[in-house]
């Protein structure tokens, strides 16, 4: 059995357990995970459908015929041209599946255009948001995915080391961002997991701020949240350093976050719930008197998407399972002054966890 057929078999098992007769995917992480085909989500309606009974169907723009038929010759595919539009192809898909079949869709990814096209053939009650069900599909990473993730992380850490070595004082957030991107590509990145978040001084207090022209000054924190992509996988790493020196207050914040990061990772093991990681890290921050500076949960799943299942939040009572990958990224943010975050990527193993990130978490002061 091939890797893709194994994944499809698992998808069908998930469908059967949830009482879903068919699953419809649009181009994106699940689509490529199951088919090995990477297509852009563009104006042309594109659907891949698995049925519980073993069916494999698709609605495909004719310009993708060569690529699709070579990769998925077994799929019953309804092609359509720009001149005719997708309506007939979607009608043929509906007839082949049967409109009395409960149809699961990707609620967070499928657009209104595809949903409304399906709604012409299925009753609204028969179209099911299957996102919670689909979270199980990619929850446990296989050996190929873990290998690609290791490579993405290695590239990321090498690039960050170059940026730090080049110095940060007097450089703008935008300049550091450009250097970081160039270094990731030079080390073999196939892309960027997301636009790097490079923030200094008061800007660093915005967890998802955008780099600008602010220049790093002595005493400033410099927060860099970034990741290289390699193959299908994405790294997601954050390190915070200081220019020239750190104040006693900022150093205390940093050491508290480092302790919280270590506590969260210590709770990463199959015997525990996912929420235990968030509880362990957040309790350290709260016990140090910084509750009002906590703005987010401790982490999120990582893989083909930068944010995916599982969510590392206290309320998540699901068990940790070998093969899960998630971030541990406690942070503290004092508005208009400073933000500090330390983020590692964790793989759950049979007897504990492996920290895939190795870049130092010591408090660094750089010129």
Provide the percentage of residues in the chain whose pLDDT is more than 90: 99
* pLDDT (tens digit per residue) in 134-174: 999 999 999 999 999 999 999 999 999 999 999 999 999 99
Spatial contact of 319 and 112, defined as CB atoms under 8 Å apart: no
* pLDDT (tens digit per residue) in 128-139: 999 999 999 999
The residues, any chain, with a CB within 8 Å of residue 347's CB and separated by 6 or more, are 141, 146, 323, 324, 325, 353, 354, 356
Average pLDDT over residues 80-98: 97
- pTM of the predicted protein model: 0.94
Q: What is the mean pLDDT of the chain?
A: 97
Tell me how crowded residue 353 is: count the other CB atoms within 10 A of its CB.
Answer: 24
CA-to-CA distance for 287 and 281, rounded, in angstroms? 10
Residue for token digits 């001149």?
A: 83
Average pLDDT over residues 226-233: 98
CATH code for the part of the protein at 3-134: 3.40.350.10
Spatial contact of 88 and 45, defined as CB atoms under 8 Å apart: no
Q: Tell me what pLDDT residue 231 has.
A: 97
CA-to-CA distance for 16 and 248, rounded, in angstroms? 58
Average pLDDT over residues 224-236: 98
CA-to-CA distance for 82 and 231, rounded, in angstroms? 31
| Residue 304 pLDDT exceeds 90 | yes
Classify 143-366 by CATH class: alpha beta
Domain ranges in the chain? 3-134, 143-366
| Residue 1 pLDDT exceeds 90 | no
Q: 3-class secondary structure for the chain?
A: CCHHHHHHHHHHHHHHHHCCCEEEECCCHHHHHHHCCCCCCCCCCCEEEEECCCCEEEEEEHHHHHHHHHHCCCCEEEEECCCCCCHHHHHHHHHHHCCCCCEEECCCCCCHHHHHHHHCCCCHHHEEECHHHHCCCCCCCCHHHHHHHHHHHHHHHHHHHHHHHHCCCCCEHHHHHHHHHHHHHHCCCCEECCCCEEEEHHHHHCCCCCCCCCECCCCCEEEEEECEEECCEECCEEEEEEECCCCHHHHHHHHHHHHHHHHHHHCCCCCCEHHHHHHHHHHHHHHCCCHHHCCCCCEEECCCCCCEEEEECCCCCCECCCCCEEEECCEEEECCCEEEECEEEEEEECCEEEECCCCCCCCCEEC
């Amino acid at each position: 059995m091939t890797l893709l057929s194994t994944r499809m078999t698992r998808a069908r098992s998930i469908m059967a357990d949830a009482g879903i007769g068919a699953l419809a995917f649009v181009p994106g992480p699940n689509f490529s995970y199951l088919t090995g085909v990477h297509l852009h989500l563009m104006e042309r309606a594109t659907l891949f459908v698995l049925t519980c009974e073993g069916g494999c169907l698709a609605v495909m723009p004719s310009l993708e015929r060569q690529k699709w038929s070579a990769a998925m010759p077994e799929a019953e595919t309804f092609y359509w041209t720009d001149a005719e539009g997708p309506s007939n192809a979607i009608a043929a898909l509906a007839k082949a599946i049967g409109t009395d079949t409960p149809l699961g869709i990707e609620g967070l990814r499928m657009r209104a255009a595809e949903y409304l096209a399906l709604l012409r053939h299925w009753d609204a009650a028969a179209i099911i948001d299957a996102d919670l069900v689909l979270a199980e599909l990619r929850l446990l990473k296989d050996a190929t995915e873990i290998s690609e993730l290791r490579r993405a992380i290695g590239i990321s850490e090498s690039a960050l080391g170059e940026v730090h070595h080049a110095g940060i004082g007097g450089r703008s957030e935008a300049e550091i961002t450009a250097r970081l991107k160039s270094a990731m590509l030079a080390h073999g990145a196939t892309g960027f997991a997301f636009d790097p978040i490079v923030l200094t001084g008061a800007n660093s207090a915005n967890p998802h701020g955008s780099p600008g022209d602010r220049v790093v000054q002595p005493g400033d924190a410099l927060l860099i949240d970034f990741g290289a992509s390699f193959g299908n996988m994405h790294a997601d790493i954050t390190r915070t350093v200081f220019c020239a020196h750190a104040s006693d207050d900022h150093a205390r914040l940093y050491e508290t976050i480092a302790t919280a990061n270590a506590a969260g990772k210590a709770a990463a093991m199959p015997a525990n719930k996912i929420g235990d990681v968030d509880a362990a890290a957040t309790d350290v921050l709260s016990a140090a008197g910084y509750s009002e500076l906590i703005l987010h949960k401790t982490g999120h799943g990582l893989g083909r998407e930068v944010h995916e299942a599982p969510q590392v939040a206290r309320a998540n009572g699901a068990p940790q399972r070998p093969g899960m990958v998630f971030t541990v990224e406690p942070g503290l943010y004092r508005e208009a002054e400073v933000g500090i975050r330390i983020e590692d990527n964790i793989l759950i193993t049979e007897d504990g966890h492996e920290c895939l990130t190795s870049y130092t978490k010591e408090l660094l002061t750089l010129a």
